[in-house]
A and B are shown apart, each in its own frame.
Chain A
Amino acid sequence: MADSVDIAVLGAGPAGMAAAVVAANAGLTVSVLDDQAVPGGQIWRNVEAVAARGDIGLFGDDYAAGVDAVAEFRATDVDYRPLSRVIGVESADEGGDVLYLRDGKAGRLHAKRLIIALGAYERPMPFLGWTLPGVMTAGAAQIALKTGGLLPERPFVLAGQGPLLLLLAAQFRAAGAAPDILLRLDDPGKKWSAGKHGLRALAGFSDLLKGLKWQRSLSDGVEETVAHVTHLEASGGGRLEAVRWQTADGTDGEAEATTLLVHDGVIPNAQLTRAMRIPHKYDVAAAAWCPEASADGQLADTGWAYVAGDNAGILGWAAATATGAKAGASAASALGAKAAPTNDVEGRLDRARAVRPLLDALYPPAQAFTAISDDTIICRCEAIEAGSVREALAMGAQGPNQLKAFLRTGMGPCQGRMCAYTVAALAAEANGTALADTDLMRLRMPISPVTVSEMSHLNETDMDLPTA
């Protein structure tokens, strides 16, 4: 039974939906596979249901933009496969095979062209106590609010930096749950050095205004705001009970807490492109490894696979709809279809790119200026502390790949999603090399755990098999 389409799109966020709409409108057969039960990705998570229950106002205009995008996607005849977890991709027959899990079975889908739009996730930020129940990412709490209508319990501490932190703070406040304490991990001194990118950023004027508005109201409703925090610690017996911090000028603080939400920007979800052995480059300004691709998203070393949206490098949702449409049009053209150009694709991209250098300069990862103590767990799955990694490196472990053999860093169920960047940073620190010259740990497929039962469905045949 051949399961085959012209174009397979992985991910139903802004980029994936845009790619699918362009390709489907060009008359091609398109399948979209996505982890979630409904389209929208993380930025537009559950947007249809939130609009239906009248809560859309809590999340702002950028979220509301998802209503039309999801409706446009739903209106196409795209073969949309929700709750489908991609586990790998293989090159096959002048295209590729997508291997995925759905309903407890592994499946194989052949596509002539593949568009990978698996988005981004929050940069893991290890600190003492970050594995305690009660500590989670700010993005996780936002997902809980969008899906289950959940709010952080007080006392609630929000700690982090970056444009998304400003948005999240505004959303929690709108929902009636402003943090009691806000710990800002950004360095206010960066304002001056980032100024040189200001002129270019004016091209993204509306984004700048939005940022200023969030910035101004950031501390509204907050009891205590602490600037330039450089050390963060969570403690408690089996669950979060207290948060401690220190600022750049050496001032200490401590507060009781039930909920600690942290955020240190976002990084591309490059798990699949890395497992495909696509070359990845460290983008110094963004402090992130990005897959090498052409201007329309075609991945280096493949003739059939594309990457789009934040999976390719962080530019935000508006740019993701543009890079998604570009990849969709390019893939469709390669198959001889006439893809209609979508509105203002280059303009949207230019505006997003104009603001990015300013944002990157204002909000470098907090980890760049907070040292990870030896007793901090860096690999959550295997409960491995930074000190063990430093010790293994001192004993001669050559880098992230050999550290797996020494310690199992990155070999638990998350497969390095949570520790790969930190392990690379510790290796670079020990070897005295730049991050740009350090490789992330090697990944292999399947990129998500698979049971033998699921795997047994992969190559179903019509043969009569003997039964016991």
Chain B
Amino acid sequence: MLRRRVEPEGDATVRLTIAGQPVTALRGESVATAALAAGLQFTRNAPVSGEPRAPYCLMGVCFECLMTIDGQPNRQACLVPVQDGMNVEPQMLRPSLGVRDDG
């Protein structure tokens, strides 16, 4: 849905892992925009209906970008700046049970 105008280079580059893939991001941007730039199609599912969701507001209002960052679930990815070595996973919850659906 969004693509990067210019790829980050030099000191401005941050390297992290999103959904198991190595990703380069721009220093100062949020995990949510890095995920969008990396082509991630969704950041979480809706726990009630199971349908995929992606960032909607990118400013901390809608909570659609809840992701698991470095093992901690329910982080608002739009409010967390990217850092080298971060490990980010989309948050998939099984409808109705509210338990993680990845193991």
Contacts and interface: CB of A to CB of B under 8 A. Distances in A.
Contact of A383 (B26, B51, B63, B78): B51
Interface in A412-441: 412-414, 417-418
Contact of B5 (A49, A151, A269, A417): A151
B34 interface: yes
A436 B62 CA distance: 25
Interface stretch (A60-68, A142-150, A185-193, A341-349): A142-150
Given A141-B2, A148-B37, A418-B62, A35 B79 contact: yes
A449 B76 CA distance: 10
Given A144-B36, A238-B51, A121 B2 contact: no
A253 B44 CA distance: 31
Given A133-B41, A133-B42, A239-B52, A151 B3 contact: yes
Contacts of A451: 74
B99 interface: no
CB-based closest 10 A-B pairs? A133-B54, A148-B33, A148-B29, A140-B58, A413-B63, A150-B2, A383-B49, A383-B48, A414-B63, A143-B58
Contacts of B79: 35-36, 83, 85
Nearest to B43: A133
A147 B33 contact: yes
Contacts of A42: 59
A449 B4 CA distance: 31
Contacts of A417: 61-63
B53 interface: yes
A136 B54 contact: yes
**Majority secondary structure, B binding face:** loop
A164 interface: no
B15 to A, nearest CB: 15
A258 B1 contact: yes
B4 A148 contact: yes
B86 interface: no
B64 interface: yes
B25 to A, nearest CB: 7
A31 interface: no
B28 A381 contact: no
Interface string A284-323: 0000000000000000000000000000000000000000
A131 B63 contact: no
B56 A147 contact: no
A381 B59 contact: no
A121 B3 CA distance: 24
A172 to B, nearest CB: 11
A140 B51 contact: no
B46 interface: yes
A150 B33 contact: yes
B61 A121 contact: yes
A383 B51 CA distance: 9
B28 A38 contact: yes
Contacts of B54: 133-134, 136, 239
Given A143-B58, A148-B30, 15 more contacts: A37-B81, A42-B59, A83-B79, A121-B57, A121-B59, A136-B57, A147-B26, A148-B26, A150-B3, A153-B1, A176-B5, A240-B1, A413-B63, A449-B74, A451-B74
